[in-house]
Amino acid sequence: MRQFLLLGVFFCSLVLVACTSAKSETKDLQIVPLENAEVERVYGLYQQGDYAAYVAEMASCESAPESYRKQMADLHKQHAMLQQEKMGGVASASVVKLTPSADGRQTNVILRVNYRNQTHEEILLSFVWVKDRWRLR
């Protein structure tokens, strides 16, 4: 009788481990590739001057105190003001290239930013897949 009980416990443990592993693999397969529209939406927050919302898109700031997020928003605002002074501000931005990592959980984005003074630059944005959505790293 004791052997059957031990065998039953072992079998239940084995089934539990198997089901848990299968669930993890299924979740990994549900990573949606990052699309240009999502990158442009997130960078659009910066371009429109909604720096608090732009910082809210950063995975690294998710658990940070409000004072830290406010400082980050202020830094982005200062950077935008410098761009405005030197180059007339951002006229438009477009995705040049998306480079996903091997596991698909991180994507580097090359974004071409066109300024009002007819100059441009390419910047690198890094996105990570966190809690079923893409966030700025």
Whether pLDDT at 127 is above 60: yes
Enter the pTM of the model. 0.76
Q: Where are the domains of the chain?
A: 31-136
Q: Which segment of 12-21, 79-88, 121-130 scores lowest on mean pLDDT? A: 12-21
Question: What are the φ and ψ backbone dihedral angles of 84, each rounded to 5 degrees?
Answer: -65, -45
Q: How far apart are the first and last CA of the chain?
A: 56
Q: What percent of the chain has pLDDT over 90?
A: 77
CATH no., domain 31-136 = 3.10.450.50
* Residues facing residue 92 across a β-bridge: 114
Inform me whether the pLDDT recorded for 116 exceeds 90: yes
- For 2-52, write each residue's pLDDT tens digit: 554 444 445 545 444 444 444 444 455 589 999 999 999 999 999 999 999
